[in-house]
Amino acid sequence: DAMVIQNPRYQVTQFGKPVTLSCSQTLNHNVMYWYQQKSSQAPKLLFHYYDKDFNNEADTPDNFQSRRPNTSFCFLDIRSPGLGDAAMYLCATSRARTGGTEAFFGQGTRLTVV
């Protein structure tokens, strides 16, 4: 059974039209991560939540926002998608940031911007 679920699997949006990607987890993990992965590149961390504590990477554009209304759900909002934002977006969870806990990834959402 899937433990980290991302919806939708594929998302097509228009240039400049706000889009929201969602991630839910059944693991009750404290930490939720959002990664952006462009073709043939490594996943790049955008931000993560430790419980309600939001941690933004210094080089994450302001165009990207996130919300975590409760432990189970986390959303990635792209306010004005550009062509360069087309990528696979990966959500991951882990029990803690420290202590060597494993991170579990969702199936990803492939975003296309037209």
Partner 1 sequence: ELKVEQNPLFLSMQEGKNYTIYCNYSTTSDRLYWYRQDPGKSLESLFVLLSNGAVKQEGRLMASLDTKARLSTLHITAAVHDLSATYFCAVADTDMRFGAGTRLTVKP
Give me the residues that bind partner 1 (CB under 8 A), please.
33, 40-45, 48, 55, 88, 90, 92, 94, 97-98, 100, 102-108, 110
The whole-angstrom separation of Cα 72 and Cα 37 is 23
CB nearer partner 1, residue 16 or residue 57: 57
Q: How far is the CB of 80 from partner 1 (least distance, A)?
A: 26
| CA-based nearest residue to 79, from 6, 12, 11, 17 | 17
Going by C-beta distance under 8 Å and a sequence separation of 6 or more, which residues neighbour residue 54? 47, 66, 68
CB nearer partner 1, residue 17 or residue 97: 97
Q: How far is the CB of 110 from partner 1 (least distance, A)?
A: 8
CB nearer partner 1, residue 52 or residue 79: 52
Q: How far is the CB of 36 from partner 1 (least distance, A)?
A: 11
H or E segment to which residue 32 belongs:
strand 31-37
Q: How far is the CB of 16 from partner 1 (least distance, A)?
A: 26
CB nearer partner 1, residue 16 or residue 96: 96
In terms of C-beta density within 10 A (0-12 exposed, 13-18 middle, 19 or more buried), how is residue 59 classed? Answer: exposed
